[in-house]
Each structure stands twice: as structure tokens, then as C-alpha cells.
Amino acid sequence: MKIPYVMVKWADSQAGPGWRNRADAKGWANAPGELHLSVGFRLPIGPDRSITLAQSIQLAPNGSVGELLQIPRACVKSIKILGKIEH
């Protein structure tokens, strides 16, 4: 089985502590989340077509995966396939 390693550009959700007046809250809520670039092995798992990346994969049969990141599909701006490994 070949597993692709990819670079994903995605917008993070936002959170902010403290009180804001309604005009400031409206501006904050309408601002896009910060963009991120994440690189990892794209796993064929995840609910609702979300993108699941692993930063590490053990190559042993039935090996584990590590450092998982799940990105909701609605947050994904682009996915670039960098290559594939045989597993």
C-alpha cells in the first residue's frame, strides 16, 4: 500500500478570551482564522471526509502512527501531494 505525504494549507478556528463590545465581536467573528501549513502522511481515516495526518509511521507490520492531526475539510484551503511511500 502506498501512503501519500502531503502539505496542507488550512485555516484554524479562532478563540479569544475576555469581553468585547458587539462591533468588535462582529469584526473578530468575520475575520478569517490564521492560515497554517502542515506536512504529514495522509491517512485514509477520519469522519466526514476530514483530513487526518500522521507525522510518524512505524514501518513494522501493523505499526503504530504518531502525532496525529485532524483537520476539518471545511478548513482546508489546499492539499499538495509531495510524494508517496510504500508501506
Cα–Cα distances in angstroms (integers) from residue 81 to residues 27, 28, 42, 46, 62, in the given order:
35, 33, 9, 18, 24
Which pLDDT score is estimated for 67? 93
At 32-54, the pLDDT tens digits run: 778 999 999 999 877 778 899 99
Residue 63, helix vs strand vs coil: coil
pLDDT of residue 18: 83
Average pLDDT over all residues of the chain: 87
The parts of the chain modelled with pLDDT lower than 50 are none
pLDDT of residue 82: 96
